[in-house]
């Protein structure tokens, strides 16, 4: 019997953490002499694997390119997507989204925030009725205060080492995140072979 399900996994922190769980599921990890290979079709030993940017994972699942996706809650909240269900917390790749700045002080007056989490940051300040100006930045966020782009950032924090290295303080936690298994809602539970793959993840996660 061959697997007929494909899982799209977010590269970086999530992919690294998911590899161990994948092996615990009893599946081969797709190895390749070409480390840049990002698409591994399903075979007899494992489901298919697509490696993509976290921001794109919900869309790949929504369009049925992959039956399942694995992505951080941070990306799911930033990119809410119709037709996609969060089905399991995989309890790996723990991190948090945080408001950070050069001083351990809540912004005084309108807050200028550099972030790639525009929706999440806007919502965070809206709930506090605090005016905010979002400066979209797709990476190297920790540089923003030093170069005068914005005095605050909303970014992922795991160990806190990056903030510390740039002399930044964690002012407030926005929310805690971990890797989530998501599924295409239209085929979830009825899709050929989907339930057994879900049960496998559930077993290794201990949930």
Min dist CB 161 to ligand PRP, Å, is 4
By CB under 6 A, tell whether 158 contacts ligand PRP. Answer: yes
Min dist CB 48 to ligand PRP, Å, is 24
* Closest to 111 measured CA to CA, from 92, 126, 97: 126
Phi/psi for 10 (5° steps) reads -70, 130
* Contact mark string toward ligand PRP, 101..140, x via CB under 6 A: --------------------------------------x-
Size of the site for ligand PRP (CB under 6 A): 12
Among 7, 97, 132, 156, binds ligand PRP (CB under 6 A): 156
By CB under 6 A, tell whether 147 contacts ligand PRP. Answer: no
By CB under 6 A, tell whether 160 contacts ligand PRP. Answer: yes
Min dist CB 201 to ligand PRP, Å, is 22
Tokens encoding 164: 């510390």
154 versus 183: smaller Cβ distance to ligand PRP: 154
Binding part of the chain for ligand PRP, among 15-23, 33-41, 55-63, 150-158 by CB under 6 A, reads 150-158
d(CA 184, CA 68): 7
d(CA 32, CA 142): 34
Pairing of strands 152-157, 6-10: unpaired
By CB under 6 A, tell whether 157 contacts ligand PRP. Answer: yes
Instruction: Return the ∠ at Cα 39 (arms to 37 and 44), rounded to 5°.
Output: 115
By CB under 6 A, tell whether 193 contacts ligand PRP. Answer: no
- The CA radius of gyration of the chain, in Å to the nearest whole number, is 19
Min dist CB 22 to ligand PRP, Å, is 20
What secondary structure, in 3-state letters, does 127-178 show? HCCCCEEEEECCCCHHHCCCCCCCCEEEEEECCCHHHHHCCCEEEEEEEEEC
By CB under 6 A, tell whether 34 contacts ligand PRP. Answer: no
d(CA 144, CA 111): 13
Among 13, 21, 79, 180, binds ligand PRP (CB under 6 A): 13
Binding residues for ligand PRP, per CB under 6 A?
12-13, 139, 141, 155-162
């Amino acid at each position: 019997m061959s697997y007929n399900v494909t899982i799209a996994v977010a590269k970086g922190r999530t992919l690294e953490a998911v590899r161990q769980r994948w092996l615990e599921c009893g599946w081969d990890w797709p190895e390749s002499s070409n480390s840049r290979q990002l698409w591994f079709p399903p075979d007899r030993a494992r489901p298919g694997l697509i490696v993509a940017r976290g921001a794109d994972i919900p869309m790949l699942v929504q369009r049925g390119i992959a039956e399942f996706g694995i992505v951080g809650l941070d990306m799911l909240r930033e990119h809410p997507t119709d037709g996609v269900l969060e089905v399991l917390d995989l309890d790996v790749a723990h991190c948090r989204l945080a408001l950070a700045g050069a001083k351990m002080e809540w912004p005084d007056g309108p807050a200028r925030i550099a972030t790639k989490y525009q929706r999440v940051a806007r919502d965070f300040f809206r709930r506090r009725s605090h005016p905010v100006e979002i400066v979209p930045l797709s990476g190297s966020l920790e540089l923003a205060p030093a170069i005068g782009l914005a005095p605050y950032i909303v970014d992922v924090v795991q160990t806190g080492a990056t903030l510390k290295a740039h002399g930044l303080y964690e002012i407030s936690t926005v929310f805690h995140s971990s890797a989530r298994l998501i599924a295409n809602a239209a085929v979830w539970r009825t899709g050929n072979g989907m339930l057994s793959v879900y049960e496998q993840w559930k077993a290794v996660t201990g949930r």
